Structure 1
Amino acid sequence: MESIVQTLEFPLFINGERTPSISGETFTVINPATGEVAAKVAKAGKEDVEAAVLSARQAFDSGVWSKKSPQERAHLLVQFGNKIIEHADELGYLESISSGATVRRISNLDILSIVDLLQQTAKFTVEYPYVESLPNLPFPGPSNNQVWREPLGVVAAVTAWNFPMILAMWKIAPALAMGNSIVVKPASNTPLSTLKLAELAAEAGIPAGVFNVVSGPGASIGEALVTHPSVDKVAFTGSTEVGSRIMEQASKTVKRVTLELGGKSPAIVLPDADMSITIPGILFGFLTHSGQVCESGTRVLVHDSIYDQVIEQLAELASTIKIGNPLDIATGMGPMVSQQQLDTVLSYIESGIQEGARLVCGGKRAIVKGFENGYYIEPTIFADVHNDMKIAREEIFGPVLSVIRYSTVEEAIEIANDTIYGLAGGIWTKDVNKGMKIASELKAGTIWINDWHMLRSDAPFGGYKQSGFGRELGRYALDEYSQLKHVHCSLVPEVSQKHWYQILLG
């Protein structure tokens, strides 16, 4: 895929327009495949946040979007999806040069995923029960009662760097569907595609001020958004540590919060597993996007009877994965997102070695011809890992797998649940009924049987425990972006019949 961008300079997007930062400052986005500057982006300050929130608030209060009918909003969501299809190559290029994602994945997953999400959300928008009538009850007296769903107001979305378009759209689609306005703060490493999405939304007919993007450092403008008194809800994807801080900051103005945080997802391989799908499935589970996925299957629990066989086959197949230029359609695995992430992952690998885990393959920085300065790491598999080791307990966010031995299903379930996280989990087995039973015992928000990473636009996604709360995707996400109101209309016309008034008046 060749560059089709005329200039790699990106302003903010506020009130329907490309807008330079008030300070005029910019920051650079680095291409992780080359280590070179890929783009210059406007660096927002608190004044820019103020302008974006004001734009979102005015747009919401005006009713230009919030008062549109569900059918009108649904139509424009579909139009937005059509614009994304038209600009798929450009979006894919921007995503790849900033996040290191392979164009093979972006074209076969990311673009299709966000367009499908917009189409499905449009469908849910029309079908959604905005008004629910409650039954008549003898107590306290005759009345008509309804429960209404209304938009919240202004939503602040703070997204992570690993899947910039997908994570942004998981918040944008339901927020807009319910009539809210939104201000998105993308990760500083990867703001390019989100800024382009805002432009496409405006082209699709979504009114000015409804969808704004401010780029810059999370410590300053992220906090400014989270604590802003005119922001009604915060939706965050990122680390558990930062999520906890956002929750604390949002509490000062009692904002609604949804958090999609870290994971250390276990995959249990039963003795009867079909190795022809299990081995590639495990690799897909922990090597997709070089392991930089919150719900990666990074702990694989293998039964004694097949332990050596599984490790041998995993290492053999991992050696065939093509590491290289993410813009090359033949590339299966790209780089880490940054030098910092590269160093972090290498330090975890060293920790695994020091704690006594057996390094089966990988473990080093990968040198790619022509991309020697890229942030690449070899697929890395550790065997003989114990669940109390650092590499088994902490989220590495890299292409590193911990293989843990177990003897009984009960032991495997206990190990799988022995974590602060609860984002996802999985089972590999030919016995689907047994898989379902184990799934009921795993403490996680998504469970896969004989697969991994398979998320649907109509199924909820979110975590247990310190992996967060609230749900994204599906009709369930619309609940997260709406407010409940109970409206009671008395059907008692005479004050003498309102006997409950006598509690006060006698």
Structure 2
Amino acid sequence: MSIFEYAPAPESRDIVDIKPSYGLFVNGEWTDGKGEAFKTINPATEETLAEVACATDADVDAAVAAARAAYDKVWGPMPGRERAKYLYRIARIIQERGRELAVLESLDNGKPIRESRDVDIPLVAAHFFYYAGWADKLGYAGLGPNPRPLGVAGQVIPWNFPLLMLAWKIAPALACGNTVVLKPAETTPLTALLFAEICRQADLPPGVVNILTGAGETGAALVNHPDVNKVAFTGSTEVGRRIAESVAGTRKKLTLELGGKAANIVFDDAAIDQAVEGVVNGIFFNQGHVCCAGSRLLLQESVAEDFLARLRRRMGTLRVGDPLDKNTDVGAINSAEQLERIRALSEIGEAEGGERYTAPCELPERGFWFAPTIFTGVSQSHRIAREEIFGPVLSVLTFRTPEEAVAKANNTPYGLSAGVWTEKGSRILWMADRLRAGVVWANTFNKFDPTSPFGGYKESGYGREGGRHGLEAYLDV
């Protein structure tokens, strides 16, 4: 099979003005952090993008105090219809500056520009539009006759969808009348800092949104601060467990969106080519840096051989390389640390007897790269079938009956998502009723909408983000 050669189609970096250094955004102003600054780098080239301030306990105190004052004096008492105007304004500015945000996200995170441009940024704007619509209708959300805001929300977000995770958390918090102190991941702070500028552009009252950059110590100081009323965290199960322990016994409200090891289940009556595309999207989208990634492929035995042949053929057409090239399908791994984890677990998969297939592609010499990979001959006891790799690595298992598929899919400590591929609507409903997963996609995968709740069970956390359900976490009901 011949593969088309694509001429480079790079997006211009000139639309983004990256400052040499960034401070903290507290009470509507930029301030110098009291901690030792750190650098954020482009994972595709290993070049330094900017130097970023690190917030200390004193900086966290100042940000929480600013958020508390804004909540008591301005944002909390403000009528919902007035809060909605600010959210609508932010959403429109995000749309206007969408190209700038997309380029900055791909530079700082490593994801392909077409994903940042066509998925992340439109969803970010959609979440602000959606929750702006709820701001003056909270009494009709089915959460009680007089729901009230909680106060100050401390929010910690991960590096895989930096701006989208920010929107998931800030939009409902502000719509409900809370103020926010948010800490982005230390490897991807730049779009959150640009969002701070958008808040100023929208004339958001000072202190309503505060952005603190830093590492785990900064996040811990925020989570444990006594004047924070609500903690929202998206990230690893290990860190989420520690946060749950630290919040236990306090009056803080907590939501956790943690890891996953989703099963993508393909029956013999599925549209095979469509399912192949769904599997590719489920595991190689955003380099597999997706908590709900379909990292376990469950194939019905009668179609397994044919499906895998088509999947390998499709993997041969994936283009790995420059995230700013509009032709790129798979970008750079976010950090050297994450690349090492992916490599280590892949080597363990081979040592355990898995048969490895790597997409034939040339990887750039500089940067953090890992070729799309699948493992066949995998059993449920293999670590690559049990542990979240958080990279472009797919484990393949087989099944014979729907009951066996359900048993294998649910045989995991996680419970965030699942996918079912079949032409029978009755089978989809039967499976969805039995799969222990917060989100079940039918004949698609990785589809998100601000009107639909997202969240998991078991070690994938608790609480829901998105939709009407996402309001509950930020209201006293």
Q: Which TM bucket (shorter chain)? A: over 0.9
Matches within 5 A, 1:164-175: 164-175=162-173
Aligned residue number for residue 342 of structure 2: 345
Aligned residue number for residue 120 of structure 1: 130
Matches within 5 A, 1:102-501: 102-129=112-139, 147-218=145-216, 220-362=217-359, 367-368=362-363, 371-484=364-477
Aligned residue number for residue 89 of structure 1: 99
Match of 2:60 among 49, 68, 88: 49
Name which of structure 1's ranges 118-127 and 453-462 shifts more when overlaid on structure 2: 118-127
Deviation at 1:253, TM superposition (A): 2.9
Q: Structure 1 residues 6, 236: CA separation in 2 closer, same or farther (over 3 Å shift)?
A: closer
Deviation at 1:127, TM superposition (A): 2.6
Per the alignment, in what secondary structure is the counterpart of residue 368 of structure 2? coil
Aligned amino acid, residue 19 of structure 1: T
* 8 Å CA contact 1:261, 1:466 repeated in 2: yes
Deviation at 1:447, TM superposition (A): 0.2
Aligned amino acid, residue 331 of structure 2: G
Equivalent pairs counted in the alignment come to: 465
Deviation at 1:42, TM superposition (A): 0.9
Aligned amino acid, residue 291 of structure 2: C
How far apart, in 2, do the equivalents of 1:272 and 1:468 lie?
Answer: 33
**Deviations, residues 89-136 of structure 1 (Å, cap 9, x unaligned):** 221122111110111001101110011111111112233216989xxx
Aligned residue number for residue 51 of structure 2: 40
How far apart, in 1, do the equivalents of 2:283 and 2:265 lie?
Answer: 14
**Deviations, residues 218-245 of structure 1 (Å, cap 9, x unaligned):** 1x11111111110001000000110000
* 8 Å CA contact 1:279, 1:313 repeated in 2: yes
Per the alignment, in what secondary structure is the counterpart of residue 136 of structure 2? helix
How far apart, in 2, do the equivalents of 1:84 and 1:147 lie?
Answer: 33
**Deviations, residues 245-267 of structure 1 (Å, cap 9, x unaligned):** 01111225331110000000001
* 8 Å CA contact 1:132, 1:148 repeated in 2: no
TM-score for the superposition, normalised by structure 1:
0.90
Aligned residue number for residue 5 of structure 2: none
* 8 Å CA contact 1:227, 1:253 repeated in 2: no
* 8 Å CA contact 1:223, 1:249 repeated in 2: no
Aligned amino acid, residue 325 of structure 1: D
Deviation at 1:147, TM superposition (A): 4.2
Per the alignment, in what secondary structure is the counterpart of residue 231 of structure 1? coil
Deviation at 1:22, TM superposition (A): 2.9
How far apart, in 2, do the equivalents of 1:132 and 1:118 lie?
Answer: 20
How far apart, in 1, do the equivalents of 2:312 and 2:62 lie?
Answer: 52
Per the alignment, in what secondary structure is the counterpart of residue 309 of structure 1? helix
Q: Where do 4+ consecutive residues of structure 1 move more than 6 Å?
A: 130-133
Aligned amino acid, residue 449 of structure 1: A
How far apart, in 2, do the equivalents of 1:78 and 1:216 lie?
Answer: 29
Per the alignment, in what secondary structure is the counterpart of residue 179 of structure 1? coil
Deviation at 1:54, TM superposition (A): 0.7
Aligned amino acid, residue 405 of structure 2: A
Matched, 1:19 2:16: no
* 8 Å CA contact 2:18, 2:50 repeated in 1: no
How far apart, in 2, do the equivalents of 1:332 and 1:131 lie?
Answer: 39
* 8 Å CA contact 1:29, 1:98 repeated in 2: yes
Aligned amino acid, residue 306 of structure 2: Q
RMSD (CA atoms) = 1.5
Deviation at 1:177, TM superposition (A): 0.3
How far apart, in 2, do the equivalents of 1:375 and 1:472 lie?
Answer: 31
Per the alignment, in what secondary structure is the counterpart of residue 148 of structure 1? coil
* 8 Å CA contact 2:138, 2:176 repeated in 1: no
* 8 Å CA contact 2:154, 2:182 repeated in 1: yes
Deviation at 1:338, TM superposition (A): 0.5
Match of 1:65 among 75, 87, 90: 75
Runs of at least 5 residues in structure 2 that lack an aligned partner in the other structure = 1-10
Aligned residue number for residue 77 of structure 1: 87
Deviation at 1:373, TM superposition (A): 1.5
How far apart, in 1, do the equivalents of 2:160 and 2:338 lie?
Answer: 11
Deviation at 1:367, TM superposition (A): 4.8
Aligned amino acid, residue 90 of structure 1: E
Aligned amino acid, residue 171 of structure 2: A
Deviation at 1:457, TM superposition (A): 0.5
Deviation at 1:360, TM superposition (A): 2.6
Per the alignment, in what secondary structure is the counterpart of residue 236 of structure 1? strand
**Deviations, residues 28-54 of structure 1 (Å, cap 9, x unaligned):** 001100112111111111111111111
Q: Structure 1 residues 70, 18: CA separation in 2 closer, same or farther (over 3 Å shift)?
A: same
Per the alignment, in what secondary structure is the counterpart of residue 108 of structure 1? helix
Identity %: 42
Per the alignment, in what secondary structure is the counterpart of residue 271 of structure 1? coil
**Deviations, residues 125-161 of structure 1 (Å, cap 9, x unaligned):** 233216989xxxxxxxxxxxx8421000000000000
Deviation at 1:455, TM superposition (A): 1.3
How far apart, in 2, do the equivalents of 1:358 and 1:97 lie?
Answer: 34
How far apart, in 1, do the equivalents of 2:56 and 2:365 lie?
Answer: 35
* 8 Å CA contact 1:227, 1:252 repeated in 2: no
Aligned residue number for residue 498 of structure 1: none
How far apart, in 2, do the equivalents of 1:123 and 1:61 lie?
Answer: 23
Aligned amino acid, residue 242 of structure 2: R
How far apart, in 2, do the equivalents of 1:280 and 1:80 lie?
Answer: 34
How far apart, in 2, do the equivalents of 1:99 and 1:323 lie?
Answer: 15
How far apart, in 2, do the equivalents of 1:6 and 1:411 lie?
Answer: 52
**Deviations, residues 440-475 of structure 1 (Å, cap 9, x unaligned):** 110000000100011111010000111000000011
How far apart, in 2, do the equivalents of 1:71 and 1:8 lie?
Answer: 39
Aligned residue number for residue 42 of structure 2: 31
Aligned amino acid, residue 30 of structure 2: R
**Deviations, residues 321-359 of structure 1 (Å, cap 9, x unaligned):** 110100111111101100111110011110110111111
How far apart, in 2, do the equivalents of 1:6 and 1:254 lie?
Answer: 40
Aligned amino acid, residue 87 of structure 2: L
